[in-house]
């Protein structure tokens, strides 16, 4: 029975939380002044990898393509997943890449990791890109079976099979749960609703053990950190960056702000008269919804 090796591909993204976003005078995002952080979907993928660490004593590696400051995202992902290998793929040749060019860099990077991977996780999508294409394209380039929108998974290490539950749309009904089984290796895109469950005492003790280890590793993340340029990765320069990106941006237009159609009013909950007005308005709204 072999062990389990897991890779996670993540992304450093603008921190869109209040107070951290800076805009240029023309309304576009000022990336130089906007804080960055581990993407929220990448964080969920890191939690899914940590589930494999707790349940199957998996060895975890994390890879990302980006500028040197993307080491921040790797450190944050290590804090979540207890990874022992952090890989940053950074080179000016990679600039301007679309999802296909990015997938090529990630494919080569995953194949250069210290172990042959059994499962590769990615987030559902990036909050600053919203295409959801990088994961499936990386899976295609790796030749791995792709499982999308996964909400839970388990692995049989003896048969080398993974069983996963994922959300699909079926006959017009959204969020139907489909259970699938596939031989390793697989590429799993994690759904935003994913939650790790640790139900037994032994699982919770293992959770605490690896969580403590993750904190210690993240404090010394440079000990696990490697950075590769294009030459060190050995990528085909025609398949990365702008030459490897068939996407053509014809035109960029600003989306006009829509006119607000709703208003808000603060109600004093201790004032019976104001509460009566609220109840009255609610009755009017409910009455308007009744089909006569």
Q: What is the pLDDT of residues 191-207, one digit of tens each?
A: 999 999 999 999 999 99
Q: What is the pLDDT of residues 31-72, one digit of tens each?
A: 667 788 999 999 999 999 999 999 999 999 999 999 999 999
Beta strands in 194-281 (DSSP E): 225-228
> Is residue 223 over pLDDT 80?
yes
pLDDT of 264: 81
pLDDT of 235: 94
- Omega of the bond prior to 185 within 30 degrees of 0, cis? yes
- Looking at residues 277-290, what average pLDDT do you find? 82
What do you get for the CA distance between the two ends of the chain, in Å?
67
pTM: 0.82
Rounded CA gap, 79 and 87, in Å? 15
Topology classification of domain 5-244: Rossmann fold (3.40.50)
pLDDT of 77: 97
pLDDT of 240: 94
Confidence category of residue 2, pLDDT binned at 50, 70, 90: low
SS3 76: helix
Greatest extent of the chain over all pairs of C-alpha atoms, in Å: 73
Indicate the average pLDDT of the chain. Answer: 89
pLDDT of 96: 85
Residues contacting 20, CB < 8 A, separation 6+: 14, 34, 35
Return the closest-CA partner of residue 122 out of 56, 49, 52. 49
- Domain residue spans of the chain: 5-244
> Is residue 130 over pLDDT 90?
no
- Looking at residues 169-175, what average pLDDT do you find? 84
- Give 60's strand partners: 6
Confidence category of residue 154, pLDDT binned at 50, 70, 90: very high
pLDDT of 175: 84
Return the closest-CA partner of residue 36 out of 19, 25, 18, 20. 20
pLDDT of 68: 92
SS3 161: strand
DSSP element (H, E) containing 109: helix 99-111
DSSP state of 28: -
């Amino acid at each position: 029975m072999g062990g389990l090796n897991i890779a996670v591909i993540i992304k450093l993204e603008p921190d869109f939380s209040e107070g951290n976003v800076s805009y240029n005078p023309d309304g576009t995002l000022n990336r130089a002044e906007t804080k960055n952080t581990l993407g929220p979907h990448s964080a969920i993928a890191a939690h899914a990898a940590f589930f494999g660490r707790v349940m199957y004593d998996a060895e975890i590696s994390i890879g990302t393509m980006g500028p040197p400051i993307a080491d921040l995202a790797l450190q944050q992902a290590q804090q979540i997943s207890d990874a022992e290998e952090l890989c940053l793929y950074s080179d000016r040749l990679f600039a301007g890449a679309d999802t296909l060019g990015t997938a090529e860099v990630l494919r080569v990077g995953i194949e250069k990791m210290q172990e042959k991977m059994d499962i590769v996780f990615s987030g559902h999508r990036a909050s600053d890109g919203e295409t959801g294409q990088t994961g499936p394209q990386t899976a295609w380039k790796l030749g791995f079976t792709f499982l999308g929108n996964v909400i839970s998974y388990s692995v049989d290490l003896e048969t080398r099979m993974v069983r996963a539950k994922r959300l699909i749309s079926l006959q017009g009904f959204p969020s139907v749960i489909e259970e699938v089984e596939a031989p390793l290796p697989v590429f799993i895109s994690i759904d935003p609703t994913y939650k790790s469950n640790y139900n037994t005492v032994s699982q919770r003790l293992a959770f605490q053990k690896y969580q403590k280890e993750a904190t210690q590793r993240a404090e010394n993340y440079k000990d696990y950190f490697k950075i590769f340029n294009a030459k060190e990765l050995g990528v085909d320069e025609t398949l990365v960056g702008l030459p490897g990106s068939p996407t053509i941006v014809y035109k960029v237009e600003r989306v006009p702000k829509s006119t607000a159609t709703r208003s808000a009013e603060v109600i004093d909950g201790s004032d019976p008269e104001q509460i009566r007005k609220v109840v009255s308005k609610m009755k009017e709204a409910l009455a308007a919804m009744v089909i006569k």
